[in-house]
Amino acid sequence: MIRISFYIVILCLSFLSFSQNTNETCTSIYLIRHAEKVRDNSGDRNPHLNPDGILRADKWRDVLKHIKFDMIYSTNLYRTLETATPISEYNQLDIQTYPPSKDYYNQFLESNKGKIILVVGHSNTTPDFVNSLIEKNFYKDIDDNNNGNLYYIHKCDNNEPTHVLFYIN
């Protein structure tokens, strides 16, 4: 059942990517939150992924393996970098780190125009990033127990962006 869901998500994302006018410059952005992190109450502000998180990072690679990314971005923390690593290795791309800030979000589309991008962030920064890209306050912070949201934005030239949220368990 999970495998069928993966293929349905990929089919939907592919349809959105290719249904736009081919004369336009279009950008596709996939955004996810980091996978499950170690929660040992040690006060560690930069924890690694726990075993479930390592499995989820591999699952994200499998879910997204049919997408040829041009760029992969992650915040500069272990949990986001470790989530992005299986996907970056599969795509043979280096991970670019980014600062989660409104100033950065505002110039992101222009500096990545025409690319297919993956962004790995956090429960509060990922929805903020999406909202900045679509220029609407549409998505709320992700529940702390939810590591399965996949946001997709497709933007062509001066048109309104298309956006959708999938949940991958």
> Tens digits of per-residue pLDDT, 84-132?
999 999 999 999 999 999 899 989 999 999 999 999 999 999 999 999 9
The helix-helix angle for 2-18 and 51-64 (nearest 10°) equals: 50
This prediction has a pTM of 0.88
Residue among 149, 110, 115 nearest 132 (CA):
110
Residue 45 tokens, joined? 């502000």
Greater pLDDT, 58 or 43: 58
For residue 19, the model assigns a pLDDT of 46
Please count the structural domains in the chain.
1
Domain interval for residue 90: 2-167
For residue 158, the model assigns a pLDDT of 85
Query: What is the CATH number for 57?
Result: 3.40.50.1240
Q: How far is CA 79 from CA 23, 40, 44, in A?
A: 39, 14, 12
For residue 97, the model assigns a pLDDT of 98
